[in-house]
Amino acid sequence: MVELVNSFMATDKTKQLKDIISKKKIKYVDYKFIDVPGTWQHKTHPIAELTDDIFTEGTGFDGSSIRGFQGIEDSDMLLIPDADSVFVDPFIAEPTISLTCDVLDPSGMKPYDRDPRHIAAKAEAYLKSTGIADTSYMGPELEFFIFDDVQFDVLTPYKGMGYSINSSEGIWNSNQNSSPNLGHRPRFKEGYFPVPPTDTQVDIRNEMVGTMMDMGMRIELHHHEVATAGQAEIGMRFDSLKKIADKTMMYKYVVKNVARRNGKTATFMPKPMFGDNGSGMHTHQSLWKGGKPLFFDKDGYGLLSKTALYYIGGLLTHAHSLLGLCSPSTNSYKRLVPGYEAPVNLVFSSRNRSAAVRIPMYSDDPRTKRIEFRPPDATCNPYLAFAAMMMAGVDGIKNKIDPTKAGFGPINKNIYHLPEDEKAKIKSVPGSLDQALTALENDQDYLTKGGVFSEDFLQGWISYKREAEIDPVRIRTHPYEMYLYYDA
């Protein structure tokens, strides 16, 4: 170990890395990277293999085995670790450091066009090139469920397909003959903020938060969410676009693994159960330049500047195509239906959670002024989703899309309770993933500006989603169809 540390890179960038390896007696290095749909992948090496040239020459892997990457004829790919991303992995028994990696094409040693992390980096560079701003801050609010058990069968279709979930917090268990059945459970849609004993998951959320903070993340709060059966949220501090995407992956990694080591299972699926609120990823956004916020105006609606209003105009104008990247699962559109606090209405409003864009009004400090885009969910790839939202907002600024003149509000009423004739005038989000992908096919110029998203990447994304997700769901018999049509 001493020999390794002494021979390792002596730059300031890697000093922290060397110190960790020495002090923590690290034995392994885990290289993590993200596939196109948005799942972390990894491989592990003995720490002696972590040498200077890894940071310039990379370490190889088979790109044909990663979803959305290369064909088998061009499968050799490289991972280049980011020394700034280091943390000690709390879920591996032997002392192990984790490094998040960029993907390179060994032909020419160029960043790989389909690497989502590279797309996020290109989005940040594009923002600077416009002169509008130099930093895009994102603050995602990830909601999730912690269940005690989940079962599903799709592999034996002729014997029956189905799923079941269970939670000791589920209100449906109030009449079960458990020993003992103590009765304190959140009712449907009443899970927001009850104290223990109704909220049984304070300790596991504390463990998740503590683990995240040990990994270097800044966490602001945690709480039970609206639904019964263990819906939760942990509030993570905002950060710049690519950094917060890295932290979003760390967040999901911690939540799932802490749940598992406590004998439970966590899911970020938007709508795992019918009849109660789903899980979203409301995303707070703002632009800054030269260390100054650009979204504040003391005389503007909701204290917003013209720049912020144009940004909103871009988000709402491109919302249908955006959701092809920001709400990119078939299950997303089980959540995005009227009611259940679903943000389906393409309008903006201050304080109003029935609008797709909410303007938080907790403070009049210019540094806190931001907008919140509510339709996304955590089935997205965060690098792609955050980049796409920023590109839509910047397009709104460049083209001065005034959301008021474009018919997007503001509306300061509970939209769910409006008379039908007023509701009919309000535009809505797509009703399915297929509709969102069709919109993405027809509205993508704002994404390809500056070469941030390539047309090839977007077409590959659309094809993958249709072939691997939409069609397999579409062609299978649904249990409710048996209920509706068996006696036909």
Which are the catalytic amino acids? 62, 141, 143, 225, 233, 282, 353, 372, 374
Distance CA 347, CA 293 (A): 23
31 in Cβ contact with 99 (< 8 Å) = yes
322 in Cβ contact with 393 (< 8 Å) = no
Select from 257, 175, 272 the least CA-distant residue to 212. Answer: 257
What would the two tokens of residue 146 be? 């912690």
Location of structure tokens 């942990």: 234
Q: Is the bond preceding 106 in cis, omega lying within 30 degrees of 0?
A: no
Burial class (CB in 10 A: 0-12, 13-18, 19+), 443: middle
Biggest alpha carbon distance in the chain? 77
**Strands 219-224 and 292-293, bridge-based pairing:** unpaired
Burial class (CB in 10 A: 0-12, 13-18, 19+), 460: middle
What would the two tokens of residue 169 be? 């917090």
378 in Cβ contact with 142 (< 8 Å) = yes
87 in Cβ contact with 250 (< 8 Å) = yes
